Amino acid sequence: MKSPSVANEKEGLLEETTEGSSMEKKPAIDRMEVLKYGSLAFLILQNSSHVLLLRWSRVVGGECSQYVTSVAVLFAELFKLVFCLVVLMFVEKGPLSAFSRLDIDIWQRKADTLKVAIPAVCYTFQNNLQFVAATHLGAALLQLLYQTKTLSTAIFGVVILSKSLRNNQWCALFVLVAGVVLAQSSQSSGGVSKGNMVIGVSAALGVSICSGFASVYLEKILKGDKTSIWVRNIQLCLFSIPLQLFAVYQRDYDKVMANGWLHGFCPTTWAVVCMFAFGGLLVAIVIRFADNNLKNLAMALAILLSCLASVPLFDFKPNSVFAAGGFLVICSIFLYAWQPKAASATYLPISNDGK
């Protein structure tokens, strides 16, 4: 027989250990919750501010809207290159280790590095087309049109990677197309201030096609590759910067020579440059803390926020047709990501009457 005092001591120790373990788990859970919902807030802010800032920089008026877009894209790529080099030196604990890593991953793997040239061309076209689209389209319609990258990515995935889509995903793509067509038709009747609808829609669809092809192509050539995101972006910059310099020379050489490289660069312009340079990198880091449901919710809320902010900023007047199109696009986001639960096996009792 154990004495009552010994039993009480053991119960007290057990209570203390359980309380201690729960206290240890609680900060970890709280930290994950903060990261989870912090990533949701960041994704909403980044996705909505992208089109709003871009559109504002093109219609703000005065000298601030006269910046050369090809120069803005060039500065974004240069900023990205410098940022990735600095981060790589920090990760590798010194410049010598960082350049040794670059030598191994880039110079000694020339064939793999050359493969990255194709997506670099796509991303260069994509970045330039975004400025064209933002010049001719409102932010709300632009946000909806950008969702067609889901369609292009899915089609290229089927063609290049031989992926198969579920029935709900095919249905989601049809709903997406219907929503975009509705939204676009509601705006074309009223006209677009300071822009051409055909040019704007063509540029936005070009952005989606370039984005979809580049992402699928990278997935094909880099499957199983362990190269870090910083080295990968340095590889892309090695091709995109010369291409963008050529674009500046080909399209805007006279403007740059007459007015200078930084003509029209205002705080808004620099914000757009930084968004292009760092936005994608930060999303790639933050998105690890968000599950699929949060990603879809972030995109849906970003669409709503872009539409609401466009009313006071750009005098946007949505109608019922545009609202219906936007609703279909948001529905398609959740429908595409939805995964039906596998049917659980049902076991019937076996009768022993025959034995």
Token output for 227: 């190269």
So what's the pLDDT on residue 90? 93
User: Whole-angstrom Cα distance, residue 139 to residue 143?
Assistant: 6
User: Whole-angstrom Cα distance, residue 35 to residue 288?
Assistant: 10
Token output for 70: 């090809």
So what's the pLDDT on residue 207? 94
So what's the pLDDT on residue 191? 45
Q: How many CB atoms lie within 10 A of CB 152?
A: 20
User: Whole-angstrom Cα distance, residue 193 to residue 145?
Assistant: 18
For residue 165, the SS3 value is coil
- Domains in the chain: boundaries: 31-335
Query: Quick check: 109 and 251 in contact, CB under 8 A?
Result: no
User: Whole-angstrom Cα distance, residue 343 to residue 90?
Assistant: 49
Identify the residue whose tokens are 């740059």.
256
State how far the alpha carbon of 339 is from the alpha carbons of 67, 169, 219, 221, 334, in Å.
45, 9, 22, 27, 10
Query: Quick check: 229 and 88 in contact, CB under 8 A?
Result: no
User: Whole-angstrom Cα distance, residue 131 to residue 54?
Assistant: 7
Helix-, strand-, coil-residue percentages of the chain, each rounded to 5 = 80, 0, 20
| Mutual angle of helices 267-286 and 229-259, in 10-degree steps | 170
Identify the residue whose tokens are 């110079």.
107
Name every residue whose Cβ is closer than 8 Å to that of residue 330 and which is 6 or more positions away in sequence: 179, 300, 303, 304
Name every residue whose Cβ is closer than 8 Å to that of residue 58 and which is 6 or more positions away in sequence: 65, 131, 134, 135, 194
For residue 342, the 8-state DSSP code is P
Length of the chain: 355
Angle, alpha carbons 214-215-221 (nearest 5°): 85
Instruction: Compute φ and ψ for 94, nearest 5 degrees.
Output: 140, 155
User: Whole-angstrom Cα distance, residue 150 to residue 225?
Assistant: 24
pTM of the complete model beyond 0.75: yes
DSSP 267-316: HHHHHHHHHHHHHHHHHHHHGGGS-HHHHHHHHHHHHHHHHHHHHHHH--
User: Whole-angstrom Cα distance, residue 329 to residue 143?
Assistant: 10
Q: What is the pLDDT along the chain (355 residues), one digit of tens a residue?
A: 555 554 555 555 445 545 454 444 555 556 777 777 777 788 888 888 889 999 999 888 788 888 999 999 999 999 999 999 999 999 998 889 999 999 988 888 888 889 899 999 999 999 999 999 999 988 899 999 999 998 999 999 999 988 888 898 999 999 999 999 988 888 764 444 557 888 999 999 999 999 999 989 988 887 767 788 889 899 999 999 999 999 999 999 999 999 999 998 999 999 999 999 988 887 777 766 666 667 777 888 888 899 999 989 888 888 889 999 999 999 998 988 888 776 555 555 555 554 4
Name every residue whose Cβ is closer than 8 Å to that of residue 156 and which is 6 or more positions away in sequence: 212, 213, 216, 217
So what's the pLDDT on residue 27? 57
User: Whole-angstrom Cα distance, residue 326 to residue 306?
Assistant: 11
Instruction: Compute φ and ψ for 77, nearest 5 degrees.
Output: -70, -40
Query: Quick check: 53 and 305 in contact, CB under 8 A?
Result: no
